[in-house]
Structure 1
Amino acid sequence: MKVTYVLLLLATLSGCAAIPGAHIPFDSSDSEGDDIYNLEEQVDIYAITPKLIAKQLARPEPHPVLNEALDAEMQEYDYVVNRGDILNITVWDHPELTIPAGSDRSPSEAGNWVHSDGTIFYPYVGELHVAGLKVTEIRDILRKRLAKYIESPQVDVTVAAFRSKRVYLTGEVTSPGTQPITNVPLTLLEAITKAGGLTAAADWTDVTLTRNGNSARYSLRDLYKQGDIRENVLLRANDIVHVSRNDAAKVFVLGEVGSPKSLNIGRAEITLAEALTDAGGFAQATADASGVFVIRKAPEGSGKIARVYQLHASNATALVLADQFKLEPRDIVYVTAAPIARWNRLIAQILPTVQTVYYGSITERELTD
């Protein structure tokens, strides 16, 4: 009787809750009577079809985008002298007023240092406040002051060393550190190039520029691959450029695959087919090829918790669609188990109990006899 009871109990077990291992039911109406878990209301489900890839997931062809604001800024750019800079002042035909650099001294060592009070000292002129002035303005002031002593002085002013302004590069660049702001405009792209470019661990879609306590994010992918110059900006003094790591740019491959794992998305996009291949492909003995799912967080404000895309790959030719379906960071790829595999797992868990009851009943009969 005990054996019969166990077998009847085993035969009456039904529903996914009794079967070990997670899976995704194909019927989205499995709500358990609770609106919170109603897939119809909380999850959008799409089949991965050629129409879906063509209309919903296809991206427009990249094309260069000009940045007129950046062009205007660069045309109007003019360096402003500040404390710490070194000026090189030349008065033609008056070598006594020009400090020669010589073979032992560089122009920066022989120039006029802008002191902490923003002034320099120059013969006949005395102290001259130059901080906050352009070199052309300094040149005009010196010409007027020297005109009292020299007839029609010809004066030239250049910056021998740019030491007052700098930007800071941190994160995943080859050579993090500081870069000076000079008389040549410095853009975001040029600064990263001077820093040796990005490292292999860099997330080129997440570059943060912090200026005056405010932060803005830029994408070098759009700049490099699509020529979107709007992602390039002119840097200013004390800007902080940080290139993030790509640790967060991952996809997760779970379920009935050869080797469940997380995969980093590098600078190249990753497709569903590539993710499955890197995870060892389908577990041939247990996977249900018609149940390949991509679970993606729903857009903000959509009122949904996720979007689920299902690929029916029972026909291997459908894997062509998998090679065209591009994954996004934090996507979860899940390959569900075949019903027979889940049933076998249930039997494997219950069989020891059945055997215990069976052999226990035999022993009890032997003792009775």
Structure 2
Amino acid sequence: MSLEIEEQSKQNDYVTVDVNSDVVDGLSAFNPVGLNQQFASSQRRSPISTVGVGDVLSVTVFEADEGGLFSGKSGNRAEFPRVEVNNQGYISLPYTGTIKVNGKTPLQIQELVVENLEGKAIQPQALVNVVRNESNLVTMSGDVAKPGLYPVTSKAERLLDVVAEAGGTKFPARETYITLMRGEQQGIQLMKTVIEQPSENIYVSRGDRIYLSHDPQRYTVLGAVLKPSIYTFDAATISVLEAIAAAGGLMDERADATGVFVFRYEDPKVLDTLGIPYKRLVRGQVPTIYRINMKHAQSYFYAQSFHLRDKDSVFVTNARSVEISKVLMLLNQATSSVGNVARTSNRFD
């Protein structure tokens, strides 16, 4: 079987790679494109919260002396606790007229208020706060405790901040994927990776849609093992050696230790890094078979360091003697049948 796979790989469009220390090191060092790279253009600095249509502001105006426009019982100031940004992005205050605030920060709006009161009020100053945020929102849905709309404030929230605000995930991080949709862009990452790699915990922006989905990572073990089946990752990482052990180990009387294979659709960048040529891409990936010869002592270390990925398949081939035994068994059955027919025929003679 091992030889058949190698021969067919020369004729077909998949790649066969013998696992050695260079391959293991190359696979361990490879980092696929994540959220940080995919949304790099909007992650160079933390986003600044700006005011939008529907937001409600509180505006307080101060004057430096009595007798001004806003002098009264409360002193030299006037408070406007609920000022809503209209559909055109404007607010209106006494003596200032309409001010376009859409896309402005609270600090910029303060400066505009003061500018519009110059020459009317006595050395005016202004204080602007967002009372209710209706425009700087992100949508959180899927497998979170409290799906809904969550505000993006001036402190600049990251993905994990919003997930925590939504009550956290319903399932373990290693079984949960986080999908971020921003305009026409979309990226997906394992929640465990977002937690472990700070660079993947990117800033959220107004209008982001965040979806958490429960999708346990799985691998398949087939061939000459005691318990061939589909298994879920019960730990953060699973090596080939651990996968074989989970399947009950190799069958001593059947397994060909030279033929332990890992079937995977590999990222072409990995093969480029390893200097391995390939012919064809399938949905952007390269059909790849990694071969580990377990008869060599060092291969056990390779199998221990070779980590499986979601949807990988491990296949242990049968020994050639087993294949020959199957043929002999079929021949024996055939000859036995012929013998039975002959003996039955003789009884009638």
| Counterpart in the other structure of 1:186 | 157
User: Is contact 1:172-1:201 (8 Å) kept?
Assistant: no
Q: Distance in 1 between matches of 2:194 and 2:185?
A: 22
TM-superposed deviation, 1:38: 5.3
* 2:56 corresponds to 1:53: no
Q: Alignment partner of 1:73: what SS?
A: coil
* 2:27 corresponds to 1:85: no
User: Is contact 1:89-1:112 (8 Å) kept?
Assistant: yes
TM-superposed deviation, 1:26: 2.9
Alignment of 1:326-341 (within 5 A): 326-341=307-322
Residue identity matched to 1:85: D
TM-superposed deviation, 1:355: 3.2
Residue identity matched to 1:278: A
| Counterpart in the other structure of 1:270 | 238
After superposition, the CA RMSD in angstroms is 3.8
Q: Distance in 1 between matches of 2:264 and 2:302?
A: 17
User: Structure 2: which 5+ residue stretches go unaligned?
Assistant: 63-70, 269-276, 281-285
* 2:216 corresponds to 1:235: no
Q: Distance in 2 between matches of 1:261 and 1:306?
A: 21
Residue identity matched to 1:163: E
Query: Which is richer in strand?
Result: 2
Alignment of 1:90-105 (within 5 A): 90-92=60-62, 94=72, 95=74, 97-98=78-79
Q: Distance in 1 between matches of 2:316 and 2:111?
A: 75
Aligned length: 319
Q: 1:255 to 1:91 in 2, by over 3 A?
A: same
| Counterpart in the other structure of 1:26 | 3
Q: Alignment partner of 2:3: what SS?
A: coil
| Counterpart in the other structure of 1:142 | 113
* 2:88 corresponds to 1:111: no
User: Is contact 1:28-1:40 (8 Å) kept?
Assistant: no
Q: Distance in 2 between matches of 1:78 and 1:226?
A: 24
| Counterpart in the other structure of 1:73 | 45
Residue identity matched to 1:212: G
User: Is contact 2:48-2:105 (8 Å) kept?
Assistant: yes
Q: Distance in 1 between matches of 2:298 and 2:262?
A: 18
Q: 1:174 to 1:26 in 2, by over 3 A?
A: farther
Residue identity matched to 1:180: P
| Counterpart in the other structure of 1:5 | none
Q: Distance in 2 between matches of 1:197 and 1:46?
A: 41
Structure 1, residues 65-111: CA drift from partner, whole Å, max 9, x if none?
A: x999778532xx54322221111122347538326xxxxxxxxxx52
Q: Distance in 2 between matches of 1:243 and 1:97?
A: 46
| Counterpart in the other structure of 1:302 | 278
TM-superposed deviation, 1:205: 9.5
Structure 1, residues 280-321: CA drift from partner, whole Å, max 9, x if none?
A: 222334222332222333554821664333333347785343
Q: 1:57 to 1:153 in 2, by over 3 A?
A: closer
Q: Alignment partner of 1:335: what SS?
A: strand
Q: 1:307 to 1:365 in 2, by over 3 A?
A: same
Residue identity matched to 1:161: R
Q: Alignment partner of 1:309: what SS?
A: strand
Q: TM-score, normalised by structure 2?
A: 0.73
| Counterpart in the other structure of 2:127 | 156
Q: Distance in 2 between matches of 1:51 and 1:128?
A: 64
Q: 1:281 to 1:159 in 2, by over 3 A?
A: same
TM-superposed deviation, 1:253: 0.9
User: Is contact 2:9-2:16 (8 Å) kept?
Assistant: no
User: Structure 1: which 5+ residue stretches go unaligned?
Assistant: 1-23, 31-36, 100-109
Structure ID, larger Rg: 1
Structure 1, residues 110-141: CA drift from partner, whole Å, max 9, x if none?
A: 52222334344434445544333332333234
Q: TM-score, normalised by structure 1?
A: 0.70
Q: Distance in 2 between matches of 1:317 and 1:141?
A: 71
> Could you tell me which of 329, 337, 341 is aligned with 1:356?
337
User: Is contact 1:167-1:240 (8 Å) kept?
Assistant: yes
Q: 1:117 to 1:46 in 2, by over 3 A?
A: closer
User: Is contact 2:15-2:278 (8 Å) kept?
Assistant: no
TM-superposed deviation, 1:273: 0.9
TM-superposed deviation, 1:327: 2.0
Same amino acid, percent of matched pairs? 24
User: Is contact 2:174-2:192 (8 Å) kept?
Assistant: no
| Counterpart in the other structure of 1:4 | none
Alignment of 1:277-296 (within 5 A): 277-296=245-264
User: Is contact 2:14-2:279 (8 Å) kept?
Assistant: no
